Structure 1
Amino acid sequence: MQAQAQKPRSPATGSAASAGMSETALKRIDDHLKRVYVDPGRFAGAQTLVYRRGQIVYQSSLGYADRERKAPIKDDTIFRIYSMTKPITSVALMMLFEEGRIQLDDPVAKYIPEWANLGVFQAGIAPAFLTRPPARPMQIVDLLRHTSGLTYGFQNRTNVDAAYRDKGIGAFEKAGTLDCWIADLARIPLEFSPGEAWNYSVSTDVLGNIIQKISGMPFEQFVRQRILDPLGMTDTDFFVPEAKAHRLAACYSADGEGGMTLQDDPATSSFLAPPDLISGGGGLVSTTADYLAFCRALLNGGELGGVRLIGPKTLRLMTTNHLPGNRDLTEMSRSMFSEATNAGIGFGLGFAVNMNPASTLLPGSVGEYYWGGAASTAFWIDPAEDLITIFMTQLLPSSSYPIRRELRALVYGAITESNL
C-alpha cells in the first residue's frame, strides 16, 4: 500500500513589513475587490494570496464560493483552474526532456504518426478543405509555445476552428477521449505553418497525449506521481471526489450587464466524476494552497522541501521568450482569445513571459512569468522580486473584466523595498 503523500512544510505567514511590503497598501486589494467586484455582484467571491521573501504576507477570502447556497469562500475551497493546468502539464513534459526521452525539436509526428501529413488551410469548409504543405513539420517546441498551427474552436474566427467546434475539440465541457481528439485533428488542417504565428490552442492537451505515450502510464497518473503527490497537492485533480464535493465552488458566466448567471452548479457539475477526457490544457481543479506549492517550487528553481521537479537551468529555459525573432505577442498573435494580450509579453514553454514592463504599461519585472484560467483565475511569479501572487474566482470568460491588470498595480504598489 502506497504511503500517504506528505506535504512539504507549509509556508510561514509573516508581516508585510518583514517582506518589504506595506500592510496598508495590501489592504487596498480587499477594498478594490469588494467595491468593484464582489459587492456589485460581478464576482460571487474572490480569494487572493501574496507570497514574498519566503512567507505569505497577504491572504484574503471575500464573498461566496456558492452564491445560491450562501456558502462562503474558505481556505480549502476548490476552484476550476482551467488553463492554469497548462504550466503543470508543461513542467511534466520538461521532466521527460531532462531524462533524455524527448527533444524540443523532435517532430510531433514522431509521437503521433497520423499527423505526418497535416496540411495548412487555404480554403474550403469541413470536410472539403484545400490545403498546402507546411513550411516545416510541427515540433514539440511548437506545442509548448502555441506556435503549432492548432487552435481552439471557441475563437469563432475561421473555418478551421468551426471544424473544431463541430467535433467538440477543446470545448469547455469535455467530451469524447483525447485519442478521439488526436484522430479528429488528423483530418483538420492547421491554421498556419508551424512557427509562423502564435495562436492559443489545444496544443497543451496534445502534450498530455505525448506524455502518456513516452512515460507508458496514463497522463493523469504521471502528473499525480511526479508532481502532485510529491508536492502534497492533495486537493488538485481532474475531478472532485465525493468526500470533497461540498468544497467545490460554483462557476458563473458574466451576463454582459455587470452581473452573472450560474454556469456550473457544484451539486451537479461534471467535475464531480472522473472524466473520459483528461485535459492537460484545462482539466484540473485546485486550491490556492495547492497551487502555491507548485509556484513555490518554481520560484525556488524547481524544488520545494527536498522535492525537485526540474532543474533551474531547465526552468530558466522554460521562462525565456521562445517566440521566433524574440517577438512579442502583439507581433505574433492571431488569437482572438487568450490569457495574455499585452505588448511587451513573450511566450516561453508553458508560460507568458514579461520582456519589457514599460511596453505592458504595468509595474513588473523582466523575467516575470504567469498564466491564467478561463474562469478568471490567475497567478504570476516574479523571481526578481521573490514574489508570487495567486488569484482565484469563478467567472467566465476571463476577458470580462481587467482584474489581472488591476491586481498587478495593487500588488506591486504595495512593495516598499524593491530587490531591483
Structure 2
Amino acid sequence: MAFRDSGSPQMSRRGLLRSGALLGAGAALGGASFTRAAFAQDPARWAHVARLARQYVDARKLASVVATLGWWQMAPDTVAFGSLTLGQDAPATIDSLFRIYSMTKPITGMATMMLIDEGKLGLDQPLAEVLPKFADMKVQKTYDGSITDLEPSARPITIRHLLTHTAGLGYSVVQKGPIAAAYIAAGLVPGQVSKLPLPAAFGRGTSVRSLEAFADGLAKMPLVAQPGTRWVYSVSLDLLGRVIEVVSGLPFDTFLKERIFDPAGMGSTFFQVPASDLARLTTNYGVLGGTLLPIDPARQSVYADPPAFPFGGAGLVSSARDYDRFLRMLAGYGAIDGKRVMSEAAVRLGTSDLLPAGADTRGTFADGSGFGAGGRVGRGEQAGIYGWAGAAGTVGFVDMKRGLRATLMTQYMPAEVYPLTQEFSRAVLADVAAMAGQQAAA
C-alpha cells in the first residue's frame, strides 16, 4: 500500500504478523482434533475478538470494527461494533464498505497466478518480454542515494520479483531523498487517501492517469536495489496491473471483475464505489492528538470518483463479507460454493514461499518469513498461513493447512497509532485455543 504501511524498520504500519502472533495460528491449532460440530456458526465463541472490538469502539478510538472469522468452506461468524460514521446511527455490518488499501495486493497477486497457470506468463519470465521498456534498467549504487550515480542491472526483473517485492522498485512513501522526490514529481504515486489537503503522513502527490503511463514512468526510474537481492516494499503489485492487462487483453479492473470478483461472489469490491453503494461506505479517520478527525467522509469520499487508474497495490474498497469470500476461495484451493475460480495448482503456488534464493530480508517486515503472491507466508510450524494488511487498520489471513480464515475491517490512519492488528491476531489465537480446550474436554 502506498501511504506508509511498509514493513521496513522505519515504518511500522504493518504490524499484522510482525509480532509473530498471527503466524502462530498453526501452533495454537496444532494437534487439536476438532469435530465438525465444533465449528458450527456461533459468534459468541469469538469472545476475545468481540471484547477487543468493543473496547476500541466504546472508548471512541474507532468508529467501528467488523471481523469475519471462519473455517474451511463454512459461512463466517461476524463480530461487529460501532457505526459507519461517528455520531450517526447507521451500524457497521458485514456488508459495510472499507478502504482495504494493501489488502488489494493478494488479489492482484492471485490474478497474476491465474495467468501463470494458464501459460500466459512465466513465474521467472523477464518483465521486459511483456513491457520492453524495462529491458535496460539502472540501479542506484547507494540505496536511497544519488539518482545519477548508477550501475547497470545485473539481471532482469522477473514476474517472481514483482510478486515478492524483490524487483528493486521503490515506493514514494518508503524511499527517502532524491528517489522519493523523483517518484512524486513523475506522478508515480499509486494510491489515494482524500480530496482534502492533508499532511504528508497521509500520502502526497498526484498520480499519472493510466496504468500505461505509470509503467512507462517507472521504466525511466533507477531501481533502488539489484533485482532479486533485497526485499523492498514497493509499487511492484501496481505494476503487475499493467502486466495483467497487456497479457490478458483486458483492462486490469475488468480482468479482476470478470475473473475473480464475479465468479467468487464478491459484489461489493470496487475501485470506485457506485453512487448506489455510498450509503454503505464508512468514513476514514485520521488519529491526531488522540482524536478521530474525518479525512475521507463517506459522502465526499475520493472513492466516489474514478481513480487515476486501478491501483493493484492499494486501490480497492471491499466489505468483510467479500474479503472473507476471497479467503474462503483460497481455503478451497480455488473453489467456492461449488464454482472454480482458480486452479488448485495456482493457489498452492501463490500461497507458497516465492522469494528468490538469497534475497536479503534482514531488518524488513519479511524477515524470518517467506513471501508469496502479494502476501506474507509462514515457515516451519507456521507454514500454510498467508496474509496481508492495509494502511487503514485492516488485515486478512488464511491458514491453508488448518482452514482458519480471519478478516478485520476498520478505518483509521496512520495505522501504527494503535496496535490493533497485533491485538486482533492474539485475540483470534486466544479464541482458537479456547475452542481447542473445549473440544479436548468434550
Asked if 1:114 is matched to 2:133, the reply is yes
Using the TM superposition, give the Cα deviation of residue 303 of structure 1 relative to its aligned residue in structure 2, in angstroms: 0.9
* 2:50 is the alignment partner of 1:30: yes
Q: Does 1:134 align with 2:134?
A: no
SS across alignment from 1:260: strand
Map of 2:59 onto structure 1:
40
The 5-angstrom pairing of residues 70-109 of structure 1 reads 70-109=89-128
2:195 equivalent in structure 1:
none
Q: Which residue matches 1:391?
A: 408
Q: Where does 1:300-339 land on structure 2 (aligned, <5 Å)?
A: 300-325=332-357, 329=361, 331=362, 333=364
Shift of residue 161, structure 1, vs aligned partner: 2.2
CA positional deviation for 1:167: 2.6
Q: Per-residue CA shift, 1:46-84, capped at 9, x if unaligned?
A: 101110244346311111211154432123211111111
Letter paired with 1:288 = A
Question: Does the Cα contact within 8 Å between 2:127 and 2:159 map onto a contact in 1?
Answer: yes
Local SS of the residue matching 1:369: strand
* Rounded Cα–Cα distance in structure 2 between residues aligned with 1:275 and 1:79: 16
Displacement of 1:23 after TM fit? 6.7
Q: 2:222 aligns with which of 184, 189, 195?
A: 189
CA distance in 2, matches of 1:298, 1:259: 38
Deviations 1:256-285 (A, max 9, x none): x33322111111112112223111111111
**What does 1:265-304 align with in structure 2 at a 5 Å threshold?**
265-304=297-336
**Alignment CA distance shift 1:60-1:125 (3 Å):** closer
Shift of 1:157: 2.6
Q: Are 1:58 and 2:77 an aligned pair?
A: yes
- Tell me, yes or no, if structure 1 residue 180 matches structure 2 residue 213: yes
Where structure 1 has 5 or more consecutive residues not aligned to the other structure, the ranges are 1-14, 334-340, 358-364
* 2:178 aligned residue: 159
Question: 1:7 maps to what in 2?
Answer: none
Shift of 1:154: 1.0
Q: Distance in 1 between matches of 2:360 and 2:133?
A: 32
Letter matched to residue 131 of structure 1: L
8 Å contact kept, 2:72–2:331: no
Q: Work out whether 1:379 is the aligned partner of 2:412.
A: no
Could you say what the CA RMSD is over the residues aligned between the two structures, in angstroms? 2.7
The one-letter amino acid paired with 2:104 is T
Instruction: Check whether the contact 1:328–1:346 (CA below 8 A) recurs between aligned residues.
Output: no
Measure the CA separation in 2 of the matches of 1:305 and 1:124. Answer: 47
| One-letter amino acid matched to 1:346 | G
Unmatched runs of 5 consecutive residues or more in structure 2: 1-34, 193-205
Shift of residue 314, structure 1, vs aligned partner:
2.3
The farther-off stretch of 185-194 and 71-80 is: 71-80
1:210 is the counterpart of 2:243: yes
CA contact (8 A) 1:45 1:61 kept: yes
- Map 1:202-241; keep pairs closer than 5 Å: 202-241=235-274
1:251 aligns with 2:271: no
- Alpha-carbon offset, residue 306 of structure 1: 3.0
User: Which of the residues 366, 370, 373 maps onto 1:349?
Assistant: 373
The residue identity in structure 2 corresponding to 1:76 is D
- Following superposition, the deviation at residue 399 of structure 1 comes to 2.5
Q: What amino acid maps onto 2:254 in structure 1?
A: Q
Shift of 1:300: 0.7
Aligned counterparts of 1:342 and 1:97: Cα–Cα separation in 2: 24
Change (3 A) 1:394 1:107: same
Query: Is contact 1:208-1:279 (8 Å) kept?
Result: yes
Q: Taking structure 1 as reference, are residues 25 and 228 closer, same or farther at Cα in structure 2, changes over 3 Å only?
A: closer
Distance in 2 between residues matched to 1:403 and 1:64, nearest whole Å: 18
> 160-169 or 140-149, which moves further after superposition?
160-169
- Give the TM-score normalised by structure 2: 0.81
Q: Which residue of 2 aligns with 1:260?
A: 292
Q: Mean alpha-carbon deviation: is it higher for 365-374 or for 15-24?
A: 15-24
Q: Is the 8 A contact 1:19 1:53 kept in 2?
A: no
Residue type of the partner of 2:370?
G
Per-residue CA deviations over 1:351-387 (Å, capped at 9, x if unaligned) read 2011146xxxxxxx32211011111111110123211
SS at match of 1:198: coil
